[in-house]
Chains A and B, each alone.
Chain A
Amino acid sequence: MKKKILAGLLAATMVISLAACGGGSDSGSASTDSSSDAGAAEAPAAEEAAPAAEAESGGKVLNIYCWNEEFKSRVTDHYSAYTEFDATHGKIGDLDVVWNITPSDDNAYQNNLDQTLLNQESAAADDKIDVFLVEADYASKYTDTDYTMALSDLGISDSDLADQYEYTQTIVKDSNGAIKGSAWQACSAGLIYNREAAKEVLGSDDPADVQAAVADWDKYNETAAKVAAAGYTMCSVNDTYRTYSNNVSGKWVQDDKIVIDANMEKWIDDSKKLVDAGAEDTDELWGDDWAKGKRPDGKVFCYFGPAWFFNFCLDVDDPETIAAKGGWGYCAGPQPYYWGGTWICAATGTDNADAVKDLILTMTTDKAVLKDIAVKDSDCVNSKSVLADLASSDEGNIALLGGQNPYADLAAGAETIDLSNLSPYDQGCNEELQNAMKAYFEGTADKDACLEQFYAAVIEKYPNLSK
């Protein structure tokens, strides 16, 4: 008997230990459950054709999906009905608020959101997504589907949104023209230059003079040559990328074919010349090499960025940086563009339509709230009147820009941004073009080989496309 018990125990130990190490080693294990998964995923896609015209209200839990703490802290600070419990829970009146925060790294946020949205139909009422946030780079992946509610279905009218900048609405319009999200930020961006360097190279650090020297790409390239001759680097090729990519004349993907726009060709050719001349480098954004320019000895002439760049990316708290000495200046730069911003979307199937409506209206259209956000959090807010206020008052002066008030420029930039050429493939195409061209700029591969690599990488991400 004893033997039998012992044998049973041994067998159990073996099962457990084998089960623990059995999973990883097989090369094919990654695709194990695909067939069943895919079948389940397809079902709601076919069924969700009719969007809920009348959304429900009166649910108990408001689920908010986002990728960082930003929106949560905005809601905590500026949405008076909200009380915070702990890091991921709070209450609006009787409604429980649950924050589901997944970082964007490695596409984790979107993967999680995709899976949850695909299961939205069958999820229990308290588990359904009510609100989720998107970034512009991939907004249309969600807004051009029926998984996102049109704001008009929530009872938010165009007149509620009249004070917003048009480009912030273009980004989240679906192909029928319905607005499906709303942003509290308007992130028009420009050129942030090192005043010291500007004095040395151009003889003036006045924003108007610097703007004249970089007013279009030809002037920019001329200035870059002078900058290089003075021992500075202009910036990284990845800094200028968005300025070019926001000003394309056609979409990345047309009839399921990848199209490289003339302005993207221009980015490639201009950048190659500047890198060869030593006027630009190929540093990755956010990397240590790239960040050197925040200090005077980094010898970088400028960065490209919007208002949030001032406070979050220039290390103003470090006394050694240019920012701490108020040594930056702002001008509009060669072409208008935007960078960043977060859109609030309502998920189809929400059981808290009223709460969602109020949240969106308060956070993105209430002028008092937006003014408060602009002053306290230095966001460049999505309100023409609030920005006009700031431009004409001392509240808009920014110390790290040497007291310059950039809001008039920011507001003018936001008016001129034209985003009619967005496509759901932008994020992948932009990332891969920057990755692939690096070798060309560095001189380790020729342009055609790099473009081939770009096409291959995009098709890997979006197998339905072709060259």
Chain B
Amino acid sequence: MGKSKNNKVVSYNKWGYIFLLPFLITYTIFQLIPLFTTIYNSFFENYRVGLMQVGPNFIGLQNYVELFSTPDIWQYLANTMIMWAMGFVPQILLSLLLGAWFTSPSLRLKGQQFFKTVIYLPNLIMASAFSMLFFTLFANEGPINSMLVGAGILSTNYNFLFHTFSARALVGFMNFLMWFGNTTILLMSGMLGIDPSIYEAAEIDGASSNQIFFRITLPLLKPILVYVMVTSLIGGLQMFDVPQILTSGTGDPSRTTMTLIMYLNKHLYSKNFGMGGALSVFLFVVTAILSVIVFKFVNSKEVK
């Protein structure tokens, strides 16, 4: 029975917990407690009109009833998901293509560092500055319109921000531009992690580069793809700054670019913490459900 030896094991364990402690404390203070107070707040009538404070009065599920009494909330959820998809689909396709090119041993692209930096650059610009820029570019009398009219493609100015599809597409396009560099770098690191001997074996067996990409790269990339998908989905559900600035917070035209967080922001005008809380809880549930679906969907395929 080496008593001293035993002690040493115990003390190592202790360090493990001590190292976890900072995370647990900050997580509790900044994530867990806010999460529960949000849920708690959602059961209260609590807002301010002018200088008059109403509540907090406990009203049970009244906020939720009110939230779902109109179809608006579903409209905003749909807006959010449509605009996310409009950005995500081209983003993942382009990122896969770029990732495959950059990591391909047979291509050996020159100037990789340069291109990697350039495609990441849009992400360094503040989203609000970026959407200010687009707002100016695509204004009714803006440079894009004058170029299109000047080139004879359009006969009169097309007001991009007055039409649902073009306004949503602009939001999607901006998100795409901002995030495809980030996604490319994530996917590249995944691709570089795949054992090169598998590729060599495939080449010796006479697989074409298409076959290599679809039969080897994609399946082995699945964990990274799931990660990219889930983080992008959660980020997409919380989409706020780009459409907020682009439409000056109105979600025009007719609130078809209004996202859930923009709607949440509307309730903060009246400091309506009850409705805000209810909306946040709804968002939390939706995020959880979607994440579980993505996870299950991708994992079940892997089993097969």
Contact = CB atoms under 8 A, between A and B. Distances in A.
Given A14-B19, A34-B273, A145-B51, A442 B41 contact: no
B193 interface: no
Interface string A440-458: 0010110001100100110
A292 B136 CA distance: 14
Interface stretch (B99-107, B205-213, B280-288): B280-288
Contact of B34 (A26, A292, A439, A449): A26
Given A18-B23, A463-B47, A464-B54, A442 B162 contact: yes
Interface in B29-76: 29-31, 33-35, 37-41, 44, 46-56, 70, 72
Nearest to B42: A31
Interface residues of B, number: 67
Contact of A11 (B22, B31, B38, B264): B22
Given A27-B280, A460-B269, A32 B139 contact: no
A28 B49 contact: no
A438 B255 CA distance: 11
Contacts of B232: none
Nearest to A22: B30
Contacts of B34: 26, 28-29, 31-32
Interface residues of A, number: 55
Contacts of B136: 288
Interface string A278-320: 0000010001110010000000000000000000000000000
A42 interface: yes
Contact of A35 (B48, B53, B56, B163): B56
A110 to B, nearest CB: 9
A171 B281 CA distance: 42
B51 A142 contact: yes
> Does more than half of chain A's interface fall in helix, strand or loop, or is it mixed?
helix
Interface in B3-38: 15, 18-19, 21-23, 25-27, 29-31, 33-35, 37-38
B141 interface: yes
A237 B255 CA distance: 20
B164 interface: yes
B50 A141 contact: yes
Given A41-B53, A141-B50, A460-B269, A27 B254 contact: no
A453 B22 contact: no
A427 to B, nearest CB: 10
A460 B268 CA distance: 9
B53 A439 contact: no
Give the one of B31, B46, B50 with max A CB within 10 A.
B50
A442 to B, nearest CB: 5
B140 interface: yes
A363 B124 CA distance: 49
B35 to A, nearest CB: 6
A49 interface: no
Contact of B26 (A18, A117, A283): A18
B168 to A, nearest CB: 13
A424 interface: yes
A444 B38 contact: no
Interface of A: 7, 10-11, 14-15, 18-19, 22-23, 25-32, 34-35, 38-39, 41-42, 45, 107, 114, 117-118, 141-142, 145, 147, 283, 287-289, 292, 424, 428, 435, 438-439, 442, 444-445, 449-450, 453, 456-457, 460-464
6 nearest interchain CB pairs? A28-B38, A22-B30, A34-B273, A15-B22, A28-B280, A18-B26
